[in-house]
Amino acid sequence: MGALKSMLGTMFSAPKKRLQGRVKWFDKEKGFGKILPLAGQDRPQDEVLFVHKNELEGGVEGKTWQAIGQGVLVSFELAKGSDKKVCAGKVRCEGLAMAVASVAAATATTLSSVEDELVHRFVVSGLRWGTSQVKGHAKASMEDRYAERAGVALSNVATGKAACAFFGVFDGHGGVSCSDFVANQLDRSFFDSLREQSSQKKKISTEAAIRSALLSSFRITDHNFLQYANKLDGGAARAWATSGSTACAAAIFGPDEEGRLRLHIAHAGNCRAVLVKQDGKVVRLTEEHKPNVPAEKKRIEAAGGAVAQIGGAWRVVLGSKSARGHAAGVSISRGFGDADFKAPAEVVSPVPDVHTVVLDRTQDAFLLLGTDGVFGALTDLESARLVGTSLRDAGGIGVEPAEVAAKRLIEAAHERRASDDKTALVVVFSDLLPSAFAGPRQILGGISDGQLFADTHEVNGTPAAGAAELPAQPAVAPSDIFEDGTDPTELALLDDIFSSYAKDLGVGDADAKQPAPVDTLVKGKPANTAREAGLPLKKKPLSAKTAKKIF
């Protein structure tokens, strides 16, 4: 009976009277404040009521929270706090403050949604890029490779809706086996890792998600290459065991949690990434992994290797250990492949450095990715100037301007130093012509005449003295990453044996007639086989999930 009376009393009782007042003060950081009731409401004169954030209608995400502040008109009901004292409850902002807060909140939400959609569309279909390659005169075969993958739509990666594009350049040595494998597999591992993080639906930041995916993709790709090589024997086994590759990969992602466009660079070895601003400022985003760099030397020696100067270059050597085809060591301290330097300890590490930049399309013009054949012949400043002026000159040409710019960069580098393979990839962020290139046309020989750029540039955001421009240099004998006296033609022939060995082991190419995926464009040589076209091998690769347990 008592319960029934209580229920009926609640159902038919008059609603509580709402009073009005002005906010005396409210501290959003602490979450509470004081309200002065308006006169003529049968309340004690000079009464001041306590108000807590939990008593605001809509909570801390609502419109009242956005509008509340000193002097704001509010309505409220009388309530009792935890100390049994009278306080303000069910507080609601009224009048102009509430209207302004409502409009501001709606406008901000609309603008944010529009900006997010624009960033998403730009990554999926707005990026423009071009590539170019040339084989070194002294090389038996082209050992460089590159990868391009247009914007891939993602879901549940930090922002719920985002897209990511992937680009990479790979400088192979000791044959094409490693650089070819990495160019075909690295982007796959990267996107697989991102999707796995998406499926777990964990709340992680954009930067953490991309960084994790890049690190794991480098690890997984190197592991799979070495495992695959271990399945071979004879000539093919030798070719794969002595093959290696450096890499520089760029992941362009957006929108992040704040609606921004992000550039993530992962590199291992001596390939390079250079960001060029609209005003002509040049920012180098990578630092070469050389054996004589103190931190690298310390790591190499701790892993059981040694660093020595051989033939005028610092190299990683294995001391008394027999290294097939690596008698002269390798001149980089990080990279893929080079099996003798990976077991029993990783003397040459596949772990990349990862650098993140927030892109602004009103300030950032284009990105250059290049192998050391390009940047060994041209400085960052020269390369940036040449690409910038080429983009301007190609603006009225029917051919894609970025493609023209990459081709001219390769031609200029090859004219200066023709011995090494060269690969350049240009990614353009803006439809606007960089303001630094609005002057008269500049050619390589007269670059220093027009001061299109400042005399300084940055390395990973730190100012560094501008490199002196190199004089023209005649073609010289190649200074390969590893030199073991092996006939490069022999290595190329041995590498071709791969197909027959792979088929015998049941880990060979997939059906060559199977079409290549349309969203993956891996160039560098004609896609005559499924492996070259980037199709997965029959051998099941190491998954991102398994890699986490191993690494």
Neighbours of 488 (CB within 10 A): 16
Helix (H) or strand (E) holding 537: none
Name the pairing type of β-strands 456-459 and 282-284: parallel
Q: Is the pLDDT of residue 438 over 70?
A: no
Cβ–Cβ < 8 Å for 74, 23: yes
Q: How confident is the model at residue 69 (pLDDT cuts 50, 70, 90)?
A: confident
Q: Does residue 354 sit in the same domain as residue 454?
A: yes
Spatial CA neighbour of 246 closest among 365, 330, 132 = 330
Structure confidence at residue 157 (pLDDT):
56
Residue 402 lies inside a defined structural domain of this protein: yes
Q: Does residue 279 sit in the same domain as residue 421?
A: yes
Residue 43 lies inside a defined structural domain of this protein: yes
> How many angstroms from the chain centroid is the CA of residue 332?
22
CA–CA distance, 76 with 57 (Å, rounded to integer): 10
Q: Does residue 83 sit in the same domain as residue 166?
A: no
Bigger pLDDT: 541 or 122?
122
Residue 1 lies inside a defined structural domain of this protein: no
Mean pLDDT of the chain: 75
Residue 541 lies inside a defined structural domain of this protein: no
Peptide bond into 255 cis (omega under 30): yes
Q: Does residue 347 sit in the same domain as residue 365?
A: yes
Bigger pLDDT: 127 or 95?
127
Q: Does residue 108 sit in the same domain as residue 255?
A: no
Average pLDDT estimate for 90-119: 67
Q: Is the pLDDT of residue 308 over 80?
A: yes
Structure confidence at residue 507 (pLDDT):
39
Name the pairing type of β-strands 272-277 and 86-93: unpaired
Q: Is the pLDDT of residue 112 over 80?
A: no
Residue 542 lies inside a defined structural domain of this protein: no
Q: Does residue 107 sit in the same domain as residue 194?
A: no
Reported as a single tens digit per residue, the pLDDT across 198-220 is: 766 666 788 888 999 999 999 99
How far, CA to CA in Å, does 383 sit from each of 9, 40, 380, 424?
A: 83, 77, 5, 10
Neighbours of 190 (CB within 10 A): 29
Q: Does residue 43 sit in the same domain as residue 190?
A: no
Helices (H), 330-444: 372-375, 380-393, 401-416
- The domain tally of the chain equals 2
Range of the domain at 271: 127-289+332-479+504-533
Q: How confident is the model at residue 383 (pLDDT cuts 50, 70, 90)?
A: very high
Reported as a single tens digit per residue, the pLDDT across 175-203 is: 899 999 999 999 999 999 888 877 666 66
Q: Does residue 84 sit in the same domain as residue 69?
A: yes
Structure confidence at residue 468 (pLDDT):
34
Residue 377 lies inside a defined structural domain of this protein: yes
B/e letters for 44-70, b = 16+ CB within 10 Å, e = fewer, are: eeeeebbbbbebbbeeeebbbbbbbee
Q: Does residue 281 sit in the same domain as residue 346?
A: yes
Structure confidence at residue 258 (pLDDT):
82
Neighbours of 169 (CB within 10 A): 32
**Residues with Cβ within 8 Å of residue 438, at least 6 apart in sequence:** 392
- The single residue listed with the structure tokens 């040595």 is 173
Bigger pLDDT: 527 or 182?
182
Residue that is last in its domain, among 84, 107, 126: 126
Structure tokens at 246: 């450096």
Residue 499 lies inside a defined structural domain of this protein: no
Q: Is the pLDDT of residue 524 over 70?
A: no
Cβ–Cβ < 8 Å for 249, 193: no
Residue that is last in its domain, among 80, 98, 126: 126
Residue that is last in its domain, among 99, 126, 153: 126
Q: Does residue 59 sit in the same domain as residue 181?
A: no
CA–CA distance, 60 with 360 (Å, rounded to integer): 32
Q: Is the pLDDT of residue 251 over 80?
A: yes
Name the pairing type of β-strands 336-337 and 364-370: unpaired
Q: Does residue 518 sit in the same domain as residue 417?
A: yes
Residue 487 lies inside a defined structural domain of this protein: no
**Residues with Cβ within 8 Å of residue 382, at least 6 apart in sequence:** 412, 444, 447, 469, 470
Task: Supply the pTM of this predicted model.
Answer: 0.64
* Out of 3-7, 93-97, 164-168, least confident range: 3-7
Q: Does residue 449 sit in the same domain as residue 385?
A: yes
CATH number at residue 174: 3.60.40.10
